[in-house]
């Protein structure tokens, strides 16, 4: 607990001296300003993340991811046999792209939600895959990871 408090303090402390001028104002990641309405509103994003046990916001779609990080998320889910999930392509909707970042207070895409709860982006899902947490989290949703069956088959051999 003290760890989280320390973290909170660090987060709240104002960061001194941002001196470097952004080199690239039109960076591909900087979308239009957040709109309070429509697809990007907090309510709209909330509806989307609660609409299905597994929801992914990504660049491109699962058949044709447009970003290596989004692709990694799709491939990890595929490894676990998770084929039933909602994927939203943020490249199709700048309001949604910004809205989902605001919703989770997370600056990057892809974003993965399990049972309406934000779990992280590509790095975190990859580490959850590697340390076994993903199998456990899927189990909580009533989804049996295909990797478990694969292990069983290997044991039989």
Partner 1 sequence: MLPARLLPLLRAPLQLLPRLASSTPMAGEKPVEASIRSKLQRELEPTHLEVRNESHQHAVPPGAETHFKVVIASSRFAGLPLLQRHRLVNEILQAELAGPVHALSIHAKTPEQWDQNASMSPSPACLGGSREKGRGLRKEQDVGRTVLIALD
Residues of the shown chain interacting with partner 1 in the complex, contacts defined by CB under 8 A = 2-4, 6-7, 10-11, 15, 18-25, 27-30, 59-60, 64-72, 75-76, 79, 91, 105-108, 118-124, 126-130
Least distance CB 16 / partner 1 (angstroms): 9
Q: How far apart are CA 72 and CA 74, in angstroms?
A: 5
Least distance CB 6 / partner 1 (angstroms): 7
Contact (CB, 8 A) for 69 and 110: yes
When the beta carbons of 64 and 153 are compared against partner 1, the nearer one is: 64
Least distance CB 125 / partner 1 (angstroms): 10
When the beta carbons of 44 and 67 are compared against partner 1, the nearer one is: 67
Q: Which residues pair with 60 in a beta bridge?
A: 65
Q: How far apart are CA 31 and CA 91, in angstroms?
A: 10
When the beta carbons of 44 and 79 are compared against partner 1, the nearer one is: 79
Strands in 53-104 per DSSP E = 54-58, 60-61, 64-65, 86-89
When the beta carbons of 43 and 132 are compared against partner 1, the nearer one is: 132
Least distance CB 106 / partner 1 (angstroms): 7
Name the DSSP class of 54. Answer: E
H or E stretch including 146?
helix 146-156
Q: Which residues pair with 118 in a beta bridge?
A: 113
């Amino acid at each position: 607990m003290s760890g989280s408090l320390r973290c909170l303090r660090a987060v709240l402390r104002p960061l001194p001296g941002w001196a470097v001028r952004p080199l690239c104002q039109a960076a591909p990641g900087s979308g239009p300003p957040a709109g309070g309405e429509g697809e990007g509103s907090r309510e709209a994003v909330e509806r989307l993340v609660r609409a299905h046990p597994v929801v992914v916001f990504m660049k491109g779609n699962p058949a044709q991811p447009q970003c290596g990080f989004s692709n990694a998320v799709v491939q990890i889910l595929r490894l676990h046999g998770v084929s039933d999930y909602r994927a939203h392509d943020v490249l199709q909707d700048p309001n949604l792209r910004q809205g989902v970042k605001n919703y989770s207070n997370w600056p990057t895409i892809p974003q993965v939600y399990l049972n309406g709860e934000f779990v992280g982006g590509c790095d975190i899902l990859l580490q959850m895959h590697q340390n076994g947490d993903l199998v456990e989290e899927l189990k909580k949703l009533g989804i049996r990871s295909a990797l478990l069956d694969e292990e069983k088959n290997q044991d039989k051999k």
